[in-house]
Amino acid sequence: MSRYRSLGFLLGVMVVALGVGNQTSVGQELIPRSVLFGNPERATPRLSPDGQWLAYRAPRDGVMNVYVAPVNNLSAARPVTNDRTTGISQYFWTYTNQHLVYLQDNNGDEDFHLYAVDLKSDEIRDLTPLEQIRAQVMGVSRHFPEHLLVGINDRDQRWFHDVYRIHIPTGTRELVYENNQFVGLLADEHYRLRVAMTFTPTGGALLMKAAGDDLDWEPLLEIDSADVMTTSPLGLDKTGEVMYLIDSRQRDTAALRSIHIPSGREETLFTTDVADVSNVLSHPTEHHIQAVAYNYERETWHVLDNSIQGDLDFLAAAHPGEVNVSSRTLDDRLWTVVYSVADGPVRFYLYDRDARNTTFLFSHRPELEALNLADMHPVIIPSRDGLRLVSYLSLPPWHDPDRTGRPDRPLPMVLLVHGGPWARDEWGFDPLHQLLANRGYAVLAVNYRGSTGFGKSFINAANLEWSGKMHDDLLDAVEWAVEQGIARRESVAIMGGSYGGYATLVGLTFTPDVFACGVDIVGPSNLVTLLDNPPPYWMPIMSLMQTRVGDYRTEEGREFLRSRSPLFRVDQIRKPLLIGQGAQDPRVKQAESDQIVQAMQERGIPVTYMLYPEEGHGFDRPENNISFFAVTEAFLARHLGGRYEEIGNAFEGANFAVPAGADDIPGLNRK
């Protein structure tokens, strides 16, 4: 999730940045930024398929790498990767039980390569040693433990991925399918391509099935534009003849369905009118779906396979929090299980199905265990036209000692706007909620129209509504918080990343009197230049952008996009703005921030702009994240009146420049 933005306003900020007013409240100590935004101590444990080994991510010389230990002896863990840049976030075991594979880009540029680690020799091999590619893992099979199916867009970075079969120990690469038309392909356990997907010019999609060994393709089902965001394949069963998919056709919320590919026969496996299907749990060898989840305010699981009903019942009662199974052995005896709460660290356990017991492995940030953290309250906010906006409210614990979700008095508030916009906020531990609540703010995160998980009508209500009804939803949330005695009308900040950064700029330009200040990270300022300069891998989905954001191909459409772009309303900005941008961002390019900063400077409007040369769409390096939050804290304290942790050594190890507004924030001019 990306966030945050520019800051800066004149002499008053000097008082804040020097540390004046940094008192604690009712014995509530400041939580150090490093505790919330530094590297986790350990995270994402994964069992090897044979159950002999446990891998997890942990810092190595300050950078997240992968460690491996015998499953019953974590004290014997050793690092098996040695990344020195942004750290490793995506990895998995192969069926050899001696190779781990991970994806890594270069400083956030999203050109992902696939690497393999040999645990016996410690050799690390780039399996995709090509320039300017974006590798995708398309198949991992126990029947071919030394081989992977990998998609590589080496012929044309703008369009489709060819399918290669790669030998893990040697890196030998064999072309399986030259792809000239599909945005996605599904293979079965025997690495036979079975299903393909392409988008239509009208913003819909078409699923095709393979016919014969020559890979002729025949129509399987058509998805119109109203359903394309809520209907998509999930995977294949063991036979390769049954495809699972989430499916909103002929209904509003997405159901779990299956299709027998040869006959086209469809079956509905699970439906709810509350929310879309959001998660599934599949058998490790049979690959049929055993349980399904949906998420309205909180995640709810429904069991389809009675053989695991007792396991999930036991796990739900064993420890507090929402439960997810993150890995399973091939014999299905051992699981790793994740417990998530809003007011504590994420905790990981090893579950033995035979003994029916759990063994604690670790929590991701043990220092949080002793802290008085904020709870997260789901709330439903009505929009002006009758939509129900599922939102999440966090409050400073000393202002809500009984945890009722209502403070003892109206507070300054930060409205957090998630990115996407086709994503959503969820209940659970959120470091930004905790930071802001600890600094004395009410924190409200709103699933505005266009957010995912609430049915196709809710998503489609956002079509062509960037800065329109999508922004009205945010304004309605602010009004609700004021009416409920949660927020002080004159002390509300807007903050977010990606689309949330755009919403921040919209807030300060389209409704300049509503918000006291804004913090924007990697937010587009001009929708025309955003859509004129997409990353190469967006090209197949540009028909979706035309129908949902605006048609950048016609002059009428471009004029509409300009009317929804903050850049052309810069002269309306009257409140402080902080901008953060990654120079390597391939989605919202640096020019999006540069151009609005330049326009503000030309008009003499103050702005502080922090540019990170080795970051992309958001800040991955903890040092950079911490540096930006240090400035954000001072900014918010100055303009909302909350607490903050002094900048101190927060810039150590960070790499950023301040092209504008450095002198407005004491300490920034040291960079």
Specify the length of the chain in residues.
671
Q: Pick the catalytic residue: 472, 585, 620, 664? A: 585
Question: What is the DSSP secondary structure assignment for residue 29, as one 8-state letter?
Answer: P
Count CA atoms within 13 Å of residue 509 on its CB side: 24
Q: Pick the catalytic residue: 161, 399, 418, 617? A: 617
Other CB atoms within 10 Å distance of the CB of residue 129: 12
Sequence-ordered list of residues with C-beta below 8 angstroms from that of 598, at least 6 positions apart, any chain: none
Question: Which phi and psi (to 5°) does residue 184 adopt?
Answer: -155, 150
End-to-end CA distance of the chain: 26
Question: What is the DSSP secondary structure assignment for residue 566, as one 8-state letter?
Answer: G
CA distances to 381, 442, 476, 486 from 480, rounded to whole Å, are 7, 13, 6, 9
Question: Rounded to the nearest 5 degrees, what angle is found at the Cα of 322, between the Cα atoms of 433 and 617?
Answer: 45
Contact 2, 498 (CB under 8 A): yes
Sheet holding 173-177, edge to edge: 136-140, 147-152, 162-167, 173-177
Which pair of tokens denotes residue 422? 């086709």
Amino acid letter, 162 = D
Cα–Cα distance for residue pair 191/483, rounded to 1 Å: 58
Q: Pick the catalytic residue: 258, 451, 498, 627? A: 498
- Would residue 520 show up in a list of annotated catalytic residues for this protein? no
Sequence-ordered list of residues with C-beta below 8 angstroms from that of 121, at least 6 positions apart, any chain: none
Other CB atoms within 10 Å distance of the CB of residue 261: 21
Sequence-ordered list of residues with C-beta below 8 angstroms from that of 601, at least 6 positions apart, any chain: 607, 660
Sheet holding 43-47, edge to edge: 43-47, 53-60, 63-70, 78-79
Sequence-ordered list of residues with C-beta below 8 angstroms from that of 116, at least 6 positions apart, any chain: 94, 99, 100, 101, 124, 125, 127, 168, 169, 171
What residues form DSSP beta bridges with 328? 335
- Would residue 617 show up in a list of annotated catalytic residues for this protein? yes
Cα–Cα distance for residue pair 452/82, rounded to 1 Å: 36
Nearest to 608 by CA among 619, 618, 620, 596: 596
What Rg value do the Cα atoms of the chain yield, rounded?
25
Cα–Cα distance for residue pair 194/104, rounded to 1 Å: 28
Cα–Cα distance for residue pair 113/101, rounded to 1 Å: 10
Q: Is 11 exposed, middle or buried (0-12, 13-18, 19+ CB in 10 A)?
A: exposed
What residues form DSSP beta bridges with 256? 246, 270
Other CB atoms within 10 Å distance of the CB of residue 299: 18
Contact 647, 33 (CB under 8 A): no
Which pair of tokens denotes residue 517? 């200040």
Which pair of tokens denotes residue 600? 């503000």
Question: Rounded to the nearest 5 degrees, what angle is found at the Cα of 501, between the Cα atoms of 497 and 507?
Answer: 145
Contact 391, 445 (CB under 8 A): yes
Query: Which sequence positions are flagged as catalytic?
Result: 498, 585, 617
